[in-house]
Amino acid sequence: MTDLEQLKNRYPGAQTFKFGDNAALCDELLALVRAGKKTATCDALRNYPEGSLDMPVVGRRDIALNWDDRPALVIETVEVTVCRYCDVTEGFALAEGENETLAGWRDDHRRYFERNGGFDPEMELVCERFRLVEDLAGKR
């Protein structure tokens, strides 16, 4: 049984996902979660078709993967809201841990969404707050 299969047995219903859209960003975001600086994330609502199992669910524990598909972290979703990009609050933006200001968050996320399906300031985002449950670094 693989490490991932064992984790899915330990965390029934867990979905797997990767932070970011490239290896360097994925590594950076995982490090921010491990350091306790990243406790929130978001993605475009368009990436979650109705009934999608990937949609975050409060109370569910999910498995964040390294870019090479190895399990990295287990997180538990504590809040899910849908919010337009233009309405994201400074509190949420700073909880993502990637920027020091809301303006910096907006600039980085605009570029991210432009790379990943298109950007509109009124696009709806799935905004998720989470807590770190287990750091799998070094476990084999």
Is 79 within a domain?
Answer: yes
Range of the domain at 92: 3-134
Q: What predicted TM-score, i.e. pTM, was given to this entire model?
A: 0.93
Is 40 within a domain?
Answer: yes
106-127 mean pLDDT: 97
The pLDDT of residue 138 = 64
CATH number, residue 116: 3.10.400.10
110-131 mean pLDDT: 97
Is 10 within a domain?
Answer: yes
Phi, psi of 84 (to 5 degrees): -70, 145
Is 140 within a domain?
Answer: no
Share of the chain above pLDDT 90, in %: 94
The pLDDT of residue 139 = 59
Is 83 within a domain?
Answer: yes
The pLDDT of residue 137 = 86
Is 38 within a domain?
Answer: yes
CB 82 within 8 A of CB 125: yes
Model confidence at 71, in pLDDT bands (50, 70, 90)? very high
Q: Per the structure, how many domains does the chain have?
A: 1
Is 93 within a domain?
Answer: yes
Half-sphere exposure of 123 (CA within 13 A, CB side): 20
